[in-house]
Structure 1
Amino acid sequence: MEGDFAFIGLGVMGYAMAGNIRKKIPPTTTLFINDIYQPSCDRFVAEFQNFGPIVVAASAREAAANSKVLISIIPDAKDVRKVYLDEHDGVVAAPSDPQRLMIECSTIDAKSTIEVGNFLKHANAGIYVDAPVSGGVPGALAGTLAFLVGHKPPVPEENQSNKIASVIALMGDPKKFFYCGKLGAGLAAKISNNYLSCTVLLATAEAMAIGIKSGIDKKLLYDVIHNSTGQSWMLDNVCPVPGVIDHVPSSNNYQPGFKSQMMIKDVTLGIEAGKETGIDPTMAQAALEVYKRAAVDPQCADRDGSSVYLHIGGPV
C-alpha cells in the first residue's frame, strides 16, 4: 500500500486500532493522528514512535491532506459529520483526491453515513466506506476485530475492494470480515448485532446476580452457564463478576472497558432502527432504561472505563 496513513479518534478502541496500524505498516510510512484530547495523542506518540514516524495533525483536514488512507472511529454522527464535512477543518476541506480511501469505523446510524459518503463522493474527496467493528477492546488490542463493511467483497483485479481488505487486515481478522454490499449496510448489520449483545449483557448480569445471591459459587455458576444454553460471547468476554475470568474488564478494575454512556447510544440506535423498519424494539427499550440508571450510578459515573455491569441487579 502506497502513501501515508491517518487515524482520527484515539478513544479506547481507536487507540488500540491505531497502535496495530503503526506496528504493521512499513517503518518508513508516516502515521498522522488526530484527536480532540491532546494527552491521548502525546501518549500514543510516546508509546509507538519506535515503530515509525508519527505526526500529530491539528485537524482532520491536515490529516487527510497528508495521507492516502484515513481511518476514523469517533463517538457519534455529529462528530463524524464534523470530522468529514466541516468546511474549514474537515476532510472535505483538504485537497481533492479521488483515490483517497476513507474507512469510517464508528457506530452511527446508517442514514448519516450514507449522507456523509454521498457528500464526499460529489466533492471528489475520495472513497468513503462504513466499516464498523465488533470484538470490543480485547479484539482491538489483539488486532482480531470483526469488520462489517459497507462495500462489495474483494475480487481479483479490483483494486478498490482489495485495498479495503488490506487496510482492515491491519486491525482485524480476515476470517471475520463481512462485506455487506453497499454504503450503510455495514452499519445496519452492526446495529442489529449490538441490539442483541447489549440486551444479552444485561440478562447475563442479572442472571449471575440471582445465582450468586442464591448461594451458588460464582465460578461454578459461570461453568454451568458456559456449558449450558445460556452461554454467550458476552458471558465469556464481558463477564460482570470480578474474579471469574482473568481477561475481562471486571477482573481488571474495569480496564479496558466500555462506558455505560456509550451503551445508551448503541441501544438507542437499535431502537431507532427497529422503529424505522416496523419492528417493535421491546427488549432494547427495556435495556435502555437500565443503562440510563447505570450511567448515573455513582459506582459507574466515577469510573474511567467500563460500566457497572457488576452492579446491575445489585452488588454481588
Structure 2
Amino acid sequence: MDCDVGFLGLGAIGFPMAVAVRRALDKKHTLYVFDVYKPSCERFKEQNCEFGPIEILKTPRDIATKASAVISMVPGPPEVKQIFLDKSTGMIGAPESSDRLFLECSTIDTETARFVSAEVEKARRGTYIDAPVSGGVPAAKKRTLSFIVGRGKPDGTSILDTRLNHLILSMGDPNKVFWCGGVGLGLAAKISNNYISCSVLLLIAEAMAIGVKAGVDPKLLQEVIHNSTGQTFMGDNVCPVPGVVAHAPSSNNWRLGFKTQMFLKDLSLGINTARQFEIDPSMAEQAYRVYEKASKDPRCIVRHTL
C-alpha cells in the first residue's frame, strides 16, 4: 500500500482483518485504529507493533483526517451512520479529499449504504464502497475472506482502484472477490447469502440432535452429512456438537466467533429486504424466532473479554 490506512472496529472478525492489513502495509506507513472498546485497541497495538507503526486515535474523524484509506467493520446500520455522519466525531468532519477510500465491510441494509455514500460524496470526503465479507473468523485469520463488493470490476488505472485491490487482497482470497456493480449491490448479495447461512445452521443443529439421539456416533454422522447431499459450509465449520469439528466454536469452549444477537440483525436484513420485493420470508421468520429466544438465554450473552 502507498498510504496510511485506518481501521475502525476491532471485534471478533475486525481484529484479524486489521492484523492482515498491518502485515501487508509497508513499515513506513502507519495503521490508525479505533474501537469504542479501548482495551481491544491496546491489545491490537501490543500484539502487532512489530509489523510497523500503529496509532490509537480517539474518533473516527481523526482516523479519516490522517488516513487515505479507511476500513470499517462495525455491528450494524446505527454504528455505520455514527462513525460516518456524527457531526462532532464522524468521518464526514475530516478535510475534503478526492482520493480517500472508505471500504465498508460491515453487513448493513442497502438503504443505509446508499444514504451514507451519497452524504460522503456530497461532502467531497472521498469514495464509499460497500464490501461485506464472508468466511467468519477462521477465514479472517487465514486471510481468505470472500469480498462481495458494491462496485464494478476495476480496470486498475486509478489510485483508488489500486488501493482498493491492495486492501482486499491483503485480507481476502483473490478467487473469492465478487464485483457486484454498484453501491448497495454487494450488500444485497451478502444479505441473500446470510439468509441461507443463518437459517441452515439451525437445520444442522436439529439434524445432528436427531442422529445422535437415535444412536449414531456424532463424528460418523458429520462425516456422512459432509459426503452426502446435506453437506454445507456451516456444517463443516460450525458444527454445534463438541469434539466433532476441531476448529468449530463448540470444540473450543464455545470461543466467540459470531454473537447470537448478530444472527437477529442479519436475519432482519433478509426479512426486510424480502418484504420490499413482496417475497414471503417464511424460512427466515421461523429462524428469527429461534434465535430471538436463544439471544435471551444467559449462556448467549457475551461481554467483552481480553
TM-score between the two structures when normalised by the length of structure 1: 0.94
Distance 1:46 1:234 in 2: 33
Distance 2:261 2:215 in 1: 32
Distance 1:189 1:219 in 2: 33
Q: Provide the residue aligned with 1:5 in structure 2.
A: 5
The equivalences for 1:225-304 within 5 A come to 225-301=225-301
CA change 1:79–1:302 in 2 (3 A) is: closer
> Partner letter of residue 290 of structure 2?
V
Distance 2:40 2:300 in 1: 22
> Partner letter of residue 234 of structure 2?
M
Equivalent residues of 1:219, 1:244 under 8 A apart: yes
Distance 2:286 2:102 in 1: 36
3-state SS of paired residue (2:170):
coil
CA change 1:85–1:304 in 2 (3 A) is: closer
3-state SS of paired residue (2:7):
strand
Equivalent residues of 1:6, 1:31 under 8 A apart: yes
Q: Provide the residue aligned with 1:119 in structure 2.
A: 119
Q: Provide the residue aligned with 1:94 in structure 2.
A: 94
Equivalent residues of 1:13, 1:136 under 8 A apart: yes
Cα deviation, residue 157, structure 1:
2.6
The equivalences for 1:1-316 within 5 A come to 1-301=1-301
Distance 2:250 2:64 in 1: 38
Distance 1:161 1:208 in 2: 45
How many residue pairs get matched?
A: 305
Equivalent residues of 1:155, 1:162 under 8 A apart: no
Equivalent residues of 1:137, 1:256 under 8 A apart: no
Q: Deviations over 1:86-136 (max 9, x none)?
A: 111110001111100000000000000000001000100001100000000
Cα deviation, residue 296, structure 1:
1.3
Distance 2:279 2:189 in 1: 15
TM-score between the two structures when normalised by the length of structure 2: 0.97
Equivalent residues of 1:261, 1:291 under 8 A apart: yes
CA change 1:141–1:58 in 2 (3 A) is: same
Cα deviation, residue 162, structure 1:
3.5
Equivalent residues of 2:100, 2:160 under 8 A apart: no
Cα deviation, residue 156, structure 1:
4.6
Cα deviation, residue 6, structure 1:
0.3
Cα deviation, residue 160, structure 1:
3.1
CA change 1:164–1:66 in 2 (3 A) is: same
Equivalent residues of 1:264, 1:291 under 8 A apart: yes
Distance 2:28 2:156 in 1: 28
Cα deviation, residue 277, structure 1:
1.2
3-state SS of paired residue (1:6):
strand
Q: Percent identity over the alignment?
A: 48
Cα deviation, residue 159, structure 1:
4.2
> Partner letter of residue 269 of structure 1?
L
RMSD over aligned CA atoms reads 1.3
Distance 1:36 1:264 in 2: 22
Distance 1:104 1:282 in 2: 30
Cα deviation, residue 248, structure 1:
1.1
Distance 1:69 1:157 in 2: 17
Distance 2:301 2:206 in 1: 20
Equivalent residues of 1:60, 1:84 under 8 A apart: yes
Q: Deviations over 1:44-97 (max 9, x none)?
A: 011001111000010000000000110000011011001001111110001111
CA change 1:300–1:68 in 2 (3 A) is: same
Q: Deviations over 1:187-221 (max 9, x none)?
A: 00000000000111110011001110111110011
Distance 1:147 1:298 in 2: 33
Distance 2:157 2:28 in 1: 27
Distance 1:159 1:183 in 2: 19
Equivalent residues of 2:99, 2:159 under 8 A apart: no
